[in-house]
Structure 1
């Protein structure tokens, strides 16, 4: 019976539409399929799936700005992509290389780990590699624990910046904040070659 109902043709546009009744299921009447449903039948619950999205490396690389690289470091470290974290990262990048050439040597934070330059003057093959090494360096070293804690919280660029100043990341300690600018950082795209494209 179910197969018959599933394969039955739809009514023609010129056929009268059957009225729903509250008593029984009846056979076909002419060219019109008629179904009667008991009035006590409740509609079935509908399940709606929920979907979430996450910023992935390919999305960030395709856009290719300093803000995208900052987010790539956060994604690589598993840290939240909050406004405060992104702001902190682009400010930090500006202190290391300046906003107009932030991709210098494909090493925006002048990270020595894995770059071939222990003092931070080394380079990476791409900005993607640089982001992975920056996140890894922060996570591997106990003396960066306060920076990592600030990034994990993601609530205060100022608190995380103080952790950076107190750490051995830069021998100058950024003048313990006196050389650190919190002015807005312009959005600047790196050349595609810096991303390995």
Structure 2
């Protein structure tokens, strides 16, 4: 039997929806045109032809032809901070994290706290980026006594990590563990980084460090 056109369209869209895996939501107009009656049983279907006296009403579902598959919004992939993102943030905390990243050390709170406290002892927070050399590192800066400079803070972070790896094993061990800012601080006091040895802790503060943003030019931007 040839089904009415709207019935054939309804069945077609239902099949397409089943294959494509999305739900069809009829429009208000389509719902208004839908005729729903008692569902026919298997026995009814085999004994009474559609439209015959006593047969259940034929059910029709009209679907708007413009309905498409819903748009799926996927969560964006997250990633750890990169050189670019840390440079864009541009604070002394960002630089501390950059040194840890170049050294392959975890950016735990104890490690970041140690780095910020160390930077404060070398250059105060208001101008921590002085000469683009926050820790007065002589390695690669052209200043053996730590008074050299770097072209930008990214380069400074790279040389700082390399210098620690090449001659400060106790500091590296503390950063690798990443569990105690005090233990790592004691390692830098005992090292030859500063001739004063930071008074072996008497010139070292553990109070919170002010977070200050360096000029974009210091980052090479």
> Normalised by the shorter chain, which TM-score bucket?
0.7 to 0.9
Q: Does 1:87 align with 2:113?
A: yes
Given that 1:11 and 1:31 are in contact with CA atoms closer than 8 Å, whether structure 2 keeps it comes out as no
Match of 1:61 in 2: 87
In the superposition, the TM-score normalised over structure 1's length comes to 0.77
Given that 2:35 and 2:60 are in contact with CA atoms closer than 8 Å, whether structure 1 keeps it comes out as no
Q: CA deviation at 1:66?
A: 0.8
Q: CA deviation at 1:16?
A: 6.2
Matches of 1:51 and 1:80 in 2, distance apart?
A: 21
Given that 1:106 and 1:124 are in contact with CA atoms closer than 8 Å, whether structure 2 keeps it comes out as yes
Given that 1:97 and 1:109 are in contact with CA atoms closer than 8 Å, whether structure 2 keeps it comes out as yes
Q: Does 1:161 align with 2:185?
A: yes
In the superposition, the TM-score normalised over structure 2's length comes to 0.69
SS in 2 for 1:171: coil
Unaligned runs of 5+ in 2: 1-14, 37-58, 64-74
Structure showing greater radius of gyration is 2
Match of 1:71 in 2: 97
Matches of 1:30 and 1:76 in 2, distance apart?
A: 67
Question: Structure 1 pair 11/173, CA: closer, same or farther in 2 (3 Å)?
Answer: closer
Unaligned runs of 5+ in 1: 18-28, 34-48
SS in 1 for 2:115: helix
SS in 1 for 2:198: helix
SS in 2 for 1:86: helix
Match of 2:137 in 1: 111
Matches of 2:76 and 2:134 in 1, distance apart?
A: 37
- Equivalences, count: 175
Q: CA deviation at 1:53?
A: 2.6
Question: Structure 1 pair 68/50, CA: closer, same or farther in 2 (3 Å)?
Answer: closer
Matches of 1:52 and 1:10 in 2, distance apart?
A: 33
Q: RMSD in angstroms over aligned alpha carbons?
A: 3.3
Q: CA deviation at 1:99?
A: 1.4
Match of 1:130 in 2: 156
Q: Does 1:179 align with 2:203?
A: yes
Given that 1:128 and 1:195 are in contact with CA atoms closer than 8 Å, whether structure 2 keeps it comes out as yes
SS in 2 for 1:146: helix
Q: CA deviation at 1:154?
A: 0.8
